[in-house]
């Protein structure tokens, strides 16, 4: 009996110990396993391109806990650091795709799906709601309350392939509808969605394209979309006014709460910018006028021909998220038909746009324009360099410039002490055709980028979760 009791105490002790271990030890293990505690790295002998400072021909960068701890030619390597001898490699800040849908859930809410309806007279708040589960806001594509951060799928295959192209950070814009929602800056590291968010919300995204066809509900034309944008902004302004009156004036009638108009308040109060798509000078002018009329803080997206009115953009201090998805010759064009001269002109001159913006002093950053293959991102930036853009400026437009445009240059965009450890190691100059990205560091986590066509298997000994969907980059959390 005694013996038994003695024996029964032992498991008790063991249990206590286990509980303690669970509290104090397991979480750490779990965090390690989830990649929350990146090891210390010292990247040595690399050509370091900090972007914010002069290039260091042979330098060392130490990163700890996801933060850059030291940068320089003479840096003492900490004892606990894993040394990566990067001789012959070039270290850049992680590239930023300044506008993309990378990482978004595949299935977007069905905003602005065609809603065949009997519409009579003027459109009003009581828009017909024939599809169950869709609010009138969603039917019209006015969903400014949506946020990319809430719509992320960390397992998205696009995350891995973007990272393999050297993109460590993306401005992710919600899609679908007109006021599609608010953009978030996302570190492309996979794992928990919450850990990937650098900052949110960063800007509103407004799309000016209706995906309805003729006769499939309002708005169905560019004119209609633009009118809807104007009306919505007017409504948001009025919402601000009537609530101010109500709050300041006892006896005033209480206005109605409105989810969409409430969400738009930072826009009409100039607390957050709006990203508008515009390519041609006429489109850009239209958006500039709209922004001026409603006093919006404006960021242009696309900007294929923005170089033509660069001086105006400089004067108005409007940044451009320049798409490097250049116009292409129509795939199924009649081979015997001559391309119209203005179409040919637009196509051939597109890579020269970045240089024109740079010459005029317009702040710009490159975006991939949702191109199918992220590798084309750098390849097409290289074409901008061929077309006259200074290579240093091109690197800047992939790193520090977007960080500045999004107001987060104190955290990302360059290789500096205390900045987020978003880095890429390449086999050479970024814009050389045979250069490839060898390693990417996102929040200090190291990803080996497999050589094209020679995907090697994950090392047997590595622990930690597989990086889901990462077909071309291997996440390495432990030795």
Partner 1 sequence: MAKKREAQTRALVGLTVLLAACAVWAETADRGAASASATVIKDATILTVSHGIIAKGSILIRDGKISEVGQTVDVPAGARVIDAQGQFVMPGIIDPHSHLAQNGGVNEGSLAVTSMTAVEDFIDPTDVDIYRELAGGVTTTATLHGSANPIGGTSAVIKLRWGQDAKGLLFGGARPGLKFALGENPKHTRTQERYPGTRMGVEDVIRQAFTEARIYAQEWDEYSKRVAAGDKTAMPPRKNLTLEPLAQVLRGERLSFVHAYRADEMLMMMRVADDFGFKVNSFEHALEGYKIANELAAHGAIVSTFSDWWAYKVEAYDAIPYNAALLTRKGVMVSLNSDSAEEARHLNQEAAKCIKYGGLTEEEALRLVTLNPAKQLKIDERVGSIDPGKDADLVIYNHHPLSVYAVPQKVLIDGQIYFDIRSDQDMRKRMAEERKTLEEKDRQTGDKERPPRKPGDRDAGKDRTRTEVPPQGDKGE
Binding site for partner 1 (CB under 8 A): 116-123, 212-224, 226-228, 230-231, 234-235, 238, 241-242, 245-246, 249, 251-253, 255, 280-282, 285-286, 326, 328-329, 331, 335-336, 338-342, 344-345, 347-348, 351, 376, 379-380, 383, 386-387, 433
- In whole angstroms, the minimum distance from the beta carbon of 326 to partner 1 comes to 8
| Residue with Cβ nearer partner 1 (88 or 452) | 452
| Residue with Cβ nearer partner 1 (285 or 471) | 285
- Mind spelling out the 3-state secondary structure of 56-120? EEEEEEEEECCEEEEEECCCCCCCCCEEEECCCCEEEECEEEEEECCCECCCCCCCCCCCCCCCC
| Residue with Cβ nearer partner 1 (33 or 208) | 208
| Residue with Cβ nearer partner 1 (195 or 352) | 352
- In whole angstroms, the minimum distance from the beta carbon of 266 to partner 1 comes to 21
| Residue with Cβ nearer partner 1 (326 or 475) | 326
First to last CA, the chain: 49
| Residue with Cβ nearer partner 1 (3 or 214) | 214
How many C-beta neighbours within 10 Å does residue 92 have? 26
155: exposed, middle or buried (Cβ count in 10 Å: 0-12, 13-18, 19+):
middle
- In whole angstroms, the minimum distance from the beta carbon of 122 to partner 1 comes to 5
- In whole angstroms, the minimum distance from the beta carbon of 131 to partner 1 comes to 15
Tell me which residue of 354, 347, 433 sits closest to 389, measured CA to CA: 354
| Residue with Cβ nearer partner 1 (255 or 428) | 255
- In whole angstroms, the minimum distance from the beta carbon of 35 to partner 1 comes to 34
- In whole angstroms, the minimum distance from the beta carbon of 332 to partner 1 comes to 10
How many C-beta neighbours within 10 Å does residue 27 have? 11
- In whole angstroms, the minimum distance from the beta carbon of 430 to partner 1 comes to 15
Ranges assigned E (strand) in 217-297: 274-278
- In whole angstroms, the minimum distance from the beta carbon of 402 to partner 1 comes to 24
Which two structure tokens, joined as six digits, stand for 374?
């992220």
Is residue 168 within 8 Å of 440, Cβ to Cβ? Answer: yes
What are the backbone dihedrals phi and psi of residue 349, each rounded to the nearest 5 degrees, phi first? -85, -10
In Å, how far are 4, 11, 45, 232, 330 from 14, measured between CA atoms? 16, 5, 49, 64, 72
- How many angstroms separate the CA atoms of 280 and 286, rounded? 10
| Residue with Cβ nearer partner 1 (375 or 472) | 375
* Enclosing H/E stretch for 178: none
Positive or negative CA dihedral for 297, 202, 422, 103? negative
- In whole angstroms, the minimum distance from the beta carbon of 154 to partner 1 comes to 30
- In whole angstroms, the minimum distance from the beta carbon of 344 to partner 1 comes to 5
- How many angstroms separate the CA atoms of 313 and 331, rounded? 33
| Residue with Cβ nearer partner 1 (91 or 291) | 291
| Residue with Cβ nearer partner 1 (132 or 213) | 213
| Residue with Cβ nearer partner 1 (12 or 338) | 338
Long-range Cβ pairs for the range 52-56 (8 Å, 24+): 52/400, 52/413, 52/414, 52/415, 52/416, 53/414, 53/416
Is residue 144 within 8 Å of 260, Cβ to Cβ? Answer: yes
- In whole angstroms, the minimum distance from the beta carbon of 351 to partner 1 comes to 7
How many C-beta neighbours within 10 Å does residue 64 have? 18
Is residue 318 within 8 Å of 300, Cβ to Cβ? Answer: yes
| Residue with Cβ nearer partner 1 (150 or 390) | 390
Look-up of token digits 């396993």: 33
- In whole angstroms, the minimum distance from the beta carbon of 355 to partner 1 comes to 13
Is residue 307 within 8 Å of 357, Cβ to Cβ? Answer: yes
In Å, how far are 87, 104, 338, 377 from 163, measured between CA atoms? 22, 15, 39, 11
- In whole angstroms, the minimum distance from the beta carbon of 238 to partner 1 comes to 6
Is residue 7 within 8 Å of 31, Cβ to Cβ? Answer: no
| Residue with Cβ nearer partner 1 (209 or 460) | 209
């Amino acid at each position: 009996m005694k013996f038994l009791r003695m024996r029964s105490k032992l498991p008790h002790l063991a249990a206590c110990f286990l509980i303690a271990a669970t509290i104090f030890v397991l979480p750490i293990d779990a965090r390690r396993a989830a990649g929350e505690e990146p090891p210390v790295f010292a990247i040595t002998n690399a050509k370091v391109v900090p972007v914010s400072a002069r290039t260091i021909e042979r330098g060392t960068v130490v990163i700890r806990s996801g933060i850059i701890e030291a940068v320089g030619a003479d840096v003492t390597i900490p004892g606990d650091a894993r040394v990566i001898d990067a001789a012959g490699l070039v270290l850049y800040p992680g590239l930023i795709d300044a506008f993309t849908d990378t990482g978004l859930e595949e299935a977007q809410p069905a905003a602005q799906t065609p809603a065949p309806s009997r519409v009579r007279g003027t459109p009003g708040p009581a828009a017909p709601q024939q599809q169950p589960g869709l609010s009138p806001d969603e039917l019209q594509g006015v969903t400014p309350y949506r946020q990319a951060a809430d719509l992320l799928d960390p397992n998205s295959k696009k995350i891995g392939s973007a990272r393999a192209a050297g993109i460590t950070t993306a401005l992710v814009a919600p899609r679908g509808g007109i006021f599609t929602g608010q953009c978030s800056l996302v570190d492309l590291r996979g794992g928990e969605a919450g850990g990937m968010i650098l900052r949110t919300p960063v800007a509103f995204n407004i799309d000016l394209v209706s995906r309805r066809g003729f006769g499939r509900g309002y708005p169905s034309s560019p004119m209609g979309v633009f009118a809807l944008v104007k009306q919505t902004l007017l409504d948001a302004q009025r919402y601000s006014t009537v609530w101010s009156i109500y709050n300041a004036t006892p006896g005033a009638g209480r206005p109605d709460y409105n989810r969409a108009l409430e969400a738009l308040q930072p826009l009409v109060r100039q607390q957050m910018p709006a990203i508008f798509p515009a390519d041609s000078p006429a489109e850009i002018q239209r958006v500039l006028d709209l922004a001026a009329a409603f006093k919006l803080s404006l960021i242009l997206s696309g900007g294929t021909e923005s170089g033509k009115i660069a001086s105006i953009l400089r004067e108005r201090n409007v940044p451009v998220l320049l798409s490097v998805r250049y116009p292409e010759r129509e795939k199924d064009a009649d081979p015997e038909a001559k391309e119209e001269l203005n179409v040919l002109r637009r196509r051939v001159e597109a890579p020269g746009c970045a240089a024109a913006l740079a010459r005029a002093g317009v702040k710009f950053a490159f975006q991939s324009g949702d191109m199918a293959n992220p590798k084309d991102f750098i390849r097409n930036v290289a074409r901008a360099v061929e077309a006259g853009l200074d290579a240093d400026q091109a690197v800047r437009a992939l790193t520090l410039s977007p960080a500045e445009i999004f107001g987060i240059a104190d955290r990302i965009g360059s290789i500096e002490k205390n900045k987020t450890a978003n880095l890429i190691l390449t086999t050479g100059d970024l814009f050389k055709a045979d250069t490839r990205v060898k390693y990417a560091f996102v929040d200090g986590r190291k990803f080996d980028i497999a050589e094209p066509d020679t995907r090697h298997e994950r090392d047997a000994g590595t622990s930690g979760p597989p990086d889901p969907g990462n077909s071309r980059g291997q996440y390495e959390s432990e030795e």
